Structure 1
Amino acid sequence: MAVLPASPLFLLYVGVFLIAALTCFASLTRLHHITDSDTRQGLWALLLTSGGWAAAHVGFLVSPTTSLKLGWYTLGLVLGLAAVGAWLYFCSAYTGRTYHRNPTYRRLAIAVYIALVAVKVTNPLHREYFTTTVVATPFPHLSVYTGPLHWTAMGLSYALAFVGYFMLLELFTQIDLDTRALFALVGITGLPVVLDLVGYTTPYLIDITYEPLGVAVFAVGVAFVYIDQFEAVQLAAERDTPVIALDVDNYIRDTNRAALTLFPEIDGAEGAHLETSLPQVADCLDSDNPILKVQQEGSTRYYRVTETPYGTVKSGLGRTIVLTDVTDRERYREELERQNERLEQFASLVSHDLRNPLNVATGRFELLREEVVMAADNENAEAVERALTRMDDLINQILTLAREGQPVEQWDAVSLSSVAKGSWEMVETDTAELRVDDDLAFKADPARLKRLFENLFRNALDHGGPDVTVTVGALSDKPGFYVFDDGPGIPEGDGDSVFEPGYTTREEGTGFGLAIVAEMVTAHGWTIQVTESETGGARFEILGVESVA
């Protein structure tokens, strides 16, 4: 085997696999244009292992000694098996699945790979994977005869490769964009199987794996010819979301079915300019608030318009326009604005139309007390004074309820421990005690959060007495914090009512304290629930806070 054959077919084999290797390696320089990092990593690994696989075939063909040929062939087996794993990683990432990130699948794949590699590299000991002999057709070469372990590994590899094909083809059939070119590229990667069968069953081709040739064609197609369409398909993977693909000059290249349903006027508008065909979308992209209102079937729907660049610097960076339905959120926002307007009107009514007559009545009552000699224990006078004072308290509480329900606009990082201790100092606590179990950093409106704690502390003092102990801490199993006391707790059956305006168990209470707390919690976008503490008191849990490092 020291003298290399000089037949044209031999030179063709060497040239084809050498070109395949160089093509795969050259394509690696183009992958930085792919925006999705997982897809880019998977394709990078596929091209690297396939290029190395093809290069190992070249080494197998041109090596002058049998031992070198066997070394190159074994290296090709190892790299070929790695290429299967890279193929699955790429297919999972490109189609939007998460199999490639699943720790269990990754550990299983590594274990299977190590086991099969061990079988391949120890073949000289057991010779169950392959044996070799020198043959003269179609040119003098070292022919490989595969054993039962080879067919086991090959069957597993083909099955896994088919899973990858299925993921890609399923995506292509579900996407409304034109994917015929990508269909063809994926199909070409499977064609070398035919060459494998011919090489195994006939003397016309040598018995060697030809898969690197298909991957090389796929690499050229994706990295050099169809990279724009390759990315556009991935970006349009959400079938129910309208997607419009534009070229570098904002001319429409493609649309999916959801976009045509939303905008029937662009059916057949490929090649038309976006500003001409959909001026409202173009204007939305240039605005600070990219929310598009669309009249659809007699109702108004709202879409957030976003854009994602794709393509290469050389070919030009096109854009994919994605319209995400945010109708529910926008309707909620509009309803919230209407509610806030009504609350402001109500607060104005309470503040002026009710407080003014109350102030007049209070002033006249004080004058009456000065002008008329009243007994110190006059029950009627005391009752009138209590009623006027209670009405003033109620008006203040109603105004507070309306004010605290406004959505939070200014968020700052706060410390649970610092805010709780600062709020405690603002409350008349007598001999009561505050305990802070542990701290939590999260985002909130500091002033409103301080008032929230003050209301909870006053509630504990009002019901638990001057010696109550209040404990504050961070929840361990979910994002949030708790406040509980060792007082008498919430009466049985009243858990759902404590946050309603007017609920109180004390004759002198207004019933707005916990309602105001609930409004402040809701204004932050959090939720609050009440349970019984371990000591039998009331335990309030505030959930949904956004913690910060």
Structure 2
Amino acid sequence: MLSLSSSSALYGAYVFAFAAAAIACLAMLPRTRHIEHEDTRRGLFWLLVTSGGWAAAHVGYLTMPTAGLRYTFYVIGLVVGIASVGPWLYFCAAYTGRSVHRDPAVRRAFLFVFLVIVAVKVTNPVHNWYFVAESAVTPFAYLEINHRPFHWIAMGLAYSLAFVGFFMLFELFVRVNSDTRPLFVLIGLTGIPVVLDVAGAVSPAVLDITYSSIGVAAFAVGVFSLYFDRFQFVRVAGETDDPIVVVDGGGKVRDYNRRAEELFPSLGDSLDEPLAEVVPRLADALDEQGSVLEIDGGETTRYYNVSSNPFTTGGAQTGKSIVLSDVTHREQYRQELETKNEKLEQFASIVSHDLRNPLQVAKGRTELAIEGGDTEHLEPVVRAHERMEQLIGEMLTLAREGVSIDETERVDLAALARRSWGMIAGGQASLSVDDDVDVTVSADPERLQQLFENLFRNAIEHGGDDVVVSVGPLADADGFYVEDDGAGIPEADREGIFEAGYTTSEDGTGFGLAIVSEIVEAHEWEIRATEADSGGARFEIRTASEYARE
């Protein structure tokens, strides 16, 4: 048997433990108004209220002077305790970005189960299904509680629902690739009272009362203490699949999610390191309003809009979260519009210059023919009209060839080259196709034929009527070449020949090679002009992985 002093000390320890839990929970209530997320704030507020009320009811159960009052406070604690499961699940669902806490059907089901359990607890004096109470004097004077099966059923249900909440939190921490150790520390604090609950049922050395209010209070206070640090970051990161990096007020990396680490591998093991040193491009992008960060992913290039949101604690900014929103489609569309606008400007320039000249010739000659009745003036008019027709046709072709290609098919390169040669007036010029290797490419047959025809015309126009044009596969890459034995292209001119309007011939339109370039770009290929072994012009088209040899 314990001595009087030992009994008093043990009694004081019990009262102090529950009172401290109640005070800690209630003292945190004013600070919840700083939580920005409304549902998370509401859930944590009521979790603190019910946890504090539960612990306070246990203080009354231990300190009231009569058995009747102790009994009443114990029942109050049971009711408030089971009520805390609701705010707990509400907090976990809201914090992890779920909407189940707002589902009317779920709310009604929870309310029904809650009212059934409360009814059994409140009517316990009639049936004693939940517990039996009797006065005890050891280890100190108190109301001894002997729990019945319905208590363990209710406790099992409560802890099962609590585990559902723990799973929500754990799943979120894992999903955003955050450190789960703080979460497990808090879960461990919550689990200690469970051990005491079980010990109280099997050992006379521990009072057979419910200790869970202390554990719930520890978790509630712990979550709130960490909310503006680890827990706030996890909630924000869990709301989106976008890459997120958290930095403190000094610009040092505090945390990041899995998507951010995939985007910037250098973030690994970079906690407490300056962002400007770990990912300097990202730090620089923060200083530019509305900046778009271009990131080469190997096979594709993606674009991200960089924005930041401040973290505040008690109204003071303590850091910020950096969010990268994928705007690849928007940026690609913007670049396409810029390219189209550039083409429109080119067309406007061509229309105002190249078409104006033959139009003025036709106008002047027509006026002379009308005034003098001389039909010889009409021949230049016909030529001017033919020139304008050619310019207009090739401008329309250039505009059409810039459109992206949706469907392709396997095309025999040699057969298509020969068919294309037959569509032009070659005169004494000849075509040589390398038949040593059968080559197929994945392409739009009509556009590829247009490519060959324009390259063949270019060779005849600059190489002469007796030029020899050769077609074959590249030896060192996937793709093919078209070359001739003409005069070739000066090295200084090779970059500019694919621009619309560029020509060295008086009769040329400057659109032929521009059309070739558009067709190549629409297929997502590459083209370059170089020199053939014969000294003539050579065009190499690289078709990347969509190229096959048999």
Deviation for aligned residue 1:193: 0.8
Determine whether 1:9 maps to 2:10: yes
The equivalent residue for 2:179 is: 178
After superposition, what is the alpha-carbon deviation per residue over 1:418-474, rounded to whole angstroms, capped at 9, x for unaligned? xxxxxxxxxxxxxxxxxxxxxxxxxxxxxxxxxxxxxxxxxxxxxxxxxxxxxxxxx
* Shift in alpha-carbon separation, 1:306–1:187, aligned structure 2, 3 A: farther
What residue number does 1:138 align with? 139
Aligned to 1:267: 268
Q: Distance in 2 between matches of 1:37 and 1:187?
A: 27
Contact 1:221–1:227 (8 Å) recurs in 2:
no
1:41 aligned partner, one-letter code: R
In structure 2, C-alpha distance between the alignment counterparts of 1:248 and 1:113, rounded to whole Å = 45
CA distance in structure 1 between the aligned counterparts of 2:64 and 2:342, rounded to whole angstroms: 84
1:346 deviates by 5.4
SS at match of 2:238: coil
* Match in the other structure for 1:423: none
> 1: distance between equivalents of 2:9 and 2:210?
20
Aligned residue number for residue 127 of structure 2: 126
Which SS does the other structure have where 1:24 is aligned?
A: helix
Deviation at 1:60? 0.8
Q: For residue 236 of structure 1, give the secondary structure of its aligned residue in structure 2.
A: helix
Partner of 1:80: 81
Matching residue of 2:200 = 199
Structure 1 position 305, deviation (Å): 1.5
Q: Is the 8 A contact 1:35 1:310 kept in 2?
A: no
Match of 1:89? 90
Structure 1 residues 119 and 290: alpha-carbon distance in aligned structure 2, compared to 1, 3 A threshold: farther
SS at match of 1:93: helix
Question: What letter is aligned with 1:136?
Answer: V
Q: Hey, what does 1:295 align to over in structure 2?
A: 296
Q: Are the structure 2 counterparts of residues 222 and 161 from structure 1 closer, same or farther at C-alpha, using a change threshold of 3 Å?
A: closer
Query: CA RMSD for the aligned pairs?
Result: 3.6
Match in the other structure for 1:35 = 36
Paired residue secondary structure (2:71): helix
TM-superposed deviation, 1:65? 1.5
Partner of 1:241: 242
Q: Give the counterpart letter for 2:67 in structure 1.
A: T
* More moved, 256-265 vs 160-169: 256-265
Alignment of 1:392-471 (within 5 A): none
CA pair 357-150 structure 1, distance change in 2 beyond 3 A: farther
Give the partner amino acid of 2:321.
Answer: T
- 2 CA distance for matches of 1:174 and 1:330? 28
For the 8 Å contact 1:172–1:183, the answer to whether it is kept is: no
| Aligned counterparts of 2:24 and 2:84: Cα–Cα separation in 1 | 16
Alpha-carbon offset, residue 344 of structure 1: 6.1
**What SS class does the counterpart of residue 307 from structure 2 fall into?**
strand
Shift in alpha-carbon separation, 1:294–1:145, aligned structure 2, 3 A:
same
Given the alignment of the two structures, is residue 168 of structure 1 paired with residue 169 of structure 2, yes or no?
A: yes
Report the Cα distance in structure 1 between the residues aligned to 2:220 and 2:312, rounded to whole angstroms. 15
Contact kept, 8 Å, 1:134 with 1:141, in 2: the verdict is: yes
Instruction: Identify the residue that residue 490 of structure 1 maps to in structure 2.
Output: none
Whose radius of gyration is greater, 1 or 2?
2
**Tell me, what secondary structure is at the counterpart of 1:272?**
coil
Q: In the alignment, what sits opposite 1:213? A: 214
Give CA deviations for 1:473-529 in whole Å, capped at 9, x if unaligned.
Answer: xxxxxxxxxxxxxxxxxxxxxxxxxxxxxxxxxxxxxxxxxxxxxxxxxxxxxxxxx
Distance across 2 between alignment mates of 1:356 and 1:183: 81
Describe the SS at the equivalent of 1:305.
strand
Name 2:232's counterpart in structure 1.
Answer: 231
Match of 1:64 in 2: 65
2:156 aligns with 155
Distance 1:301 1:257 in 2: 17
* 2:100 aligned with 1:99: yes
**1:218 CA displacement:** 2.1
Residue equivalent to 1:375: none
Superposition deviation, residue 311 in structure 1:
4.8
Q: Equivalent residues in 2 for 1:497-536 (5 A)?
A: none
Decide which moves more: 355-364 or 139-148.
355-364
Report the 3-state secondary structure (helix = DSSP H, G, I; strand = E; otherwise coil) of the residue aligned with 2:273: coil
Aligned to 2:46: 45
Asked if structure 2 preserves the Cα contact closer than 8 Å seen for 1:302 and 1:327, the reply is: yes
Q: Taking structure 1 as reference, are residues 342 and 215 closer, same or farther at Cα in structure 2, changes over 3 Å only? A: same
Maintained 8 Å contact 2:170/2:180: no
Identity %: 51
Residue 84 of structure 2 aligns to a residue whose secondary structure is helix
Contact 1:179 1:233 (8 Å CA) reproduced: no
Asked if 1 retains the 8 angstrom alpha-carbon contact of 2:244 and 2:322, the reply is: yes
AA of the residue aligned to 2:313: T
Question: Would you say 1:336 and 2:333 are equivalent positions?
Answer: no
- Kindly indicate whether the alpha-carbon contact (under 8 Å) linking 1:10 and 1:139 is maintained by their aligned counterparts in 2: yes
**Which sits farther off after the overlay, 341-350 or 60-69?**
341-350
Cα deviation, residue 170, structure 1 = 2.0
For residue 330 of structure 1, report the CA deviation from its aligned partner: 1.7
- Look up the equivalent residue of 1:205 and give its one-letter code: V
* Amino acid in structure 1 at the alignment position of 2:86: G
For the Cα contact (< 8 Å) 1:138–1:203, is it kept in 2? no
Please identify, of 333-342 and 203-212, the stretch whose mean Cα deviation from structure 2 is larger: 333-342
Shift of 1:284: 1.9
State the Cα deviation string for residues 8-30 of structure 1 (Å, max 9, x = none): 11111111100000001112233
Change over 3 Å in CA distance of 1:362–1:250 after alignment to 2? same
User: Shift of the alpha carbon at 1:197?
Assistant: 0.4
Unaligned runs of 5+ in 1: 370-397, 399-549
Shift, 1:205, TM fit:
1.4
The more displaced of 328-337 and 202-211 is: 328-337
State the partner residue of 2:115. 114
Q: Is the Cα–Cα contact under 8 Å of residues 137 and 203 in structure 1 kept in the other structure?
A: no
Whether the aligned pair in 1 keeps the contact of 2:178 and 2:234 (CA below 8 Å) is: yes
Residues 315 and 221 of structure 1, relative CA distance in 2, 3 Å threshold? farther
Q: Write the deviation string for residues 156-191 of structure 1: whole angstroms up to 9, x where unpaired.
A: 212111111111122223332323122211232122
The answer on whether the counterparts of 2:310 and 2:317 sit within 8 Å (CA) in structure 1 is: no
Q: Distance in 2 between matches of 1:109 and 1:362?
A: 89
1:453 maps to none
Q: Please tell me whether the aligned partners of residues 90 and 101 of structure 2 are also in contact (alpha carbons under 8 angstroms).
A: yes
Point out 4+ residue stretches in structure 1 off by more than 6 angstroms: 347-365
Change (3 A) 1:226 1:289: closer
Higher mean alpha-carbon deviation, 181-190 vs 266-275, is at 266-275
